[in-house]
């Protein structure tokens, strides 16, 4: 099966939105073993949408579209698909009822123009969308499957997971080559150093191994094709084992595992708790850790201390210490970590203080990470390049890396 992705929306061409849907759909198709040769983006223009759809129809077995299912006149996707495939759009009563119920739950009447969203191909069917007003639409005609999804990722992703992926899996079973990929995620080792470690493994054809550039960490992607998932996984296993043997200390997780997930898991395994204190990051580290710890078991609490008033008032640091060393200093990073640990009653305190720089290009940031355990308090210093946002993100990454390394040595 050969697929093609079409993203519809002038805002995508203008660059006002980055098309994360296309990447997500690409990963999904790769996981299903469906070949994807082309992705196209086209604006809300009837002629150009028709042109793009016609070409896709001529060279693909599966067309996935995102966007253009809204209630406005600009939303043309279903109308264009109907035209290209010679289909009629007819009112789908259950979809209309769901739409009306959607608005009723919000206590507002449905605007008349939203009725358009309940139009579905006469020989197709809707795909339920519990998170928005636009149902998806599926049409199978002339040997081509066309699946249309709405643009907002929080609507599109659940629809793919709950409907599209199961539908395609069923459709593909028995005939396909299964491609299994696994991403190995490393922290604390540079891209070149890691590539040097695995240089001789980068030339295989099945399984394959390829480095993936990623800001602040390094990823390797393994891939294997076989007649079954199990067979493909059997091809991957010895490769992964060899990589773990060579660089296992830096390997924190696989696939979609986040560094914060790995750190929270390590804390849990070690039976330890943590607390945070954040200057320039203002809570982003706490935000990442609590995303991975919804049960509130290991991240006990944290402090946002953007300036000297908070450092003395909230964390109880001495004004003399701050005067003597400055906010962005090793002693203050260590004192922050220790105060966070004590005040939250946690085993480990981790602190960030830094100069994240202005919100312009090419700036340099200085980040200090403090780490306090019951028997020892340390800090490390890091120079980061980038705009304020990048430096702040990088600072949370460095703090998680330091915390991970401390936990590995516990």
Among 301, 321, 325, 378, binds its own copies (CB under 8 A): 301
The token pair at 293 is 């710890």
**Region 225-254 residues binding its own copies, contact defined as CB under 8 A:** none
Nearer CB in complex with its own copies: 211/330: 211
Helices (H), 248-307: 259-270, 284-291
User: Judged by CB under 8 A, does residue 222 bind its own copies?
Assistant: no
Q: Is 233 helix (H, G, I), strand (E, B) or coil?
A: helix
Half-sphere exposure for 23 (CA within 13 Å, toward CB): 4
User: Judged by CB under 8 A, does residue 204 bind its own copies?
Assistant: no
Q: Beta strands 178-186 and 35-42: pairing type?
A: unpaired
Among 90, 125, 211, 257, binds its own copies (CB under 8 A): 211
CB atoms within 10 A of CB 217: 20
Per-residue DSSP letter, 106: T
**Region 314-343 residues binding its own copies, contact defined as CB under 8 A:** 314, 343
Mask: binding to its own copies, 249-288, rule CB under 8 A, as x and -?
---------------------------x-x-xxxxxxxxx
What values do phi and psi take at 118, rounded to 5? -90, 5
Mask: binding to its own copies, 89-108, rule CB under 8 A, as x and -?
-----------------x-x
Among 32, 60, 66, 70, binds its own copies (CB under 8 A): 70
User: Judged by CB under 8 A, does residue 166 bind its own copies?
Assistant: no
The CB-of-282 to its own copies minimum distance in angstroms stands at 3
User: Judged by CB under 8 A, does residue 15 bind its own copies?
Assistant: yes
How far is the C-alpha of 250 from the C-alpha of 176, rounded, in Å?
35
- Catalogue the E-assigned strands of 134-177: 136-141, 144-149
For 301-340, b where at least 16 C-beta lie within 10 A, e where not — what string? bbbbbeeeeebeeebebeeebbeeeebbbbbbbbbbbbbb
User: Judged by CB under 8 A, does residue 353 bind its own copies?
Assistant: no
User: Judged by CB under 8 A, does residue 157 bind its own copies?
Assistant: yes
The CB-of-123 to its own copies minimum distance in angstroms stands at 28
Nearer CB in complex with its own copies: 66/121: 66
**Region 47-66 residues binding its own copies, contact defined as CB under 8 A:** 48, 52
């Amino acid at each position: 099966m050969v697929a093609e992705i079409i993203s519809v929306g002038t805002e995508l061409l203008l660059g006002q939105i980055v098309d994360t849907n296309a990447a997500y759909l690409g990963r999904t198709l790769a996981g299903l073993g469906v070949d994807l040769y082309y992705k196209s983006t086209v604006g809300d223009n009837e002629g150009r949408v028709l042109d793009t759809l016609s070409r896709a129809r001529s060279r693909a077995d599966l067309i996935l579209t995102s966007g253009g299912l809204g209630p406005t006149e600009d939303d043309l996707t279903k109308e264009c698909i109907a035209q290209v495939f010679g289909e009629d759009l007819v009112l789908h009563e259950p979809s209309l009822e769901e739409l009306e119920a959607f608005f009723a739950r919000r206590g507002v009447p449905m605007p008349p123009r939203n009725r358009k969203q309940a139009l579905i191909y006469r020989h197709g069917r809707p795909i339920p969308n519990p998170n928005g007003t636009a149902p998806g639409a599926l049409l199978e005609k002339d040997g081509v499957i066309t699946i249309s999804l709405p643009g907002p990722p929080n609507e599109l992703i659940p629809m793919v997971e709950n409907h599209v992926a199961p539908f395609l899996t069923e459709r593909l079973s028995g005939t396909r080559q299964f491609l299994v990929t696994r991403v190995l995620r490393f922290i604390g080792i540079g891209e070149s150093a890691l590539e040097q470690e695995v240089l001789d493994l980068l030339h295989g054809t099945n399984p394959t191994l390829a480095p993936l550039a990623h800001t602040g960490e390094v990823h390797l992607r393994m891939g294997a094709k076989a007649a079954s998932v199990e067979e493909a996984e059997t091809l991957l296993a010895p490769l992964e084992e060899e990589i773990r043997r060579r660089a296992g200390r830096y390997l924190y997780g696989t696939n979609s595992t986040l560094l914060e997930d790995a750190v929270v898991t390590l804390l849990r395994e070690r039976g330890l708790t943590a607390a945070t204190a954040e200057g320039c990051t203002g809570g982003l580290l706490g935000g990442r850790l609590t995303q991975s710890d919804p049960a509130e078991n290991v991240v006990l609490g944290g402090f946002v201390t953007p300036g000297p008033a908070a450092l003395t008032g909230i964390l109880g640091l001495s004004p003399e210490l701050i005067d003597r060393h400055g906010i962005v200093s090793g002693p203050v990073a260590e004192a922050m970590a220790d105060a966070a640990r004590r005040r939250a009653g946690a085993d480990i305190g981790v602190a960030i203080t830094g100069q994240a720089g202005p919100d312009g290009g090419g700036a340099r940031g200085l980040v200090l990470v403090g780490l306090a355990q019951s028997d020892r308090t340390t800090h490390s210093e890091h120079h980061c390049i980038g705009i304020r946002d990048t430096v702040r993100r990088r600072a949370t990454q460095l703090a998680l890396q330091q915390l991970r390394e401390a936990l590995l040595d516990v």
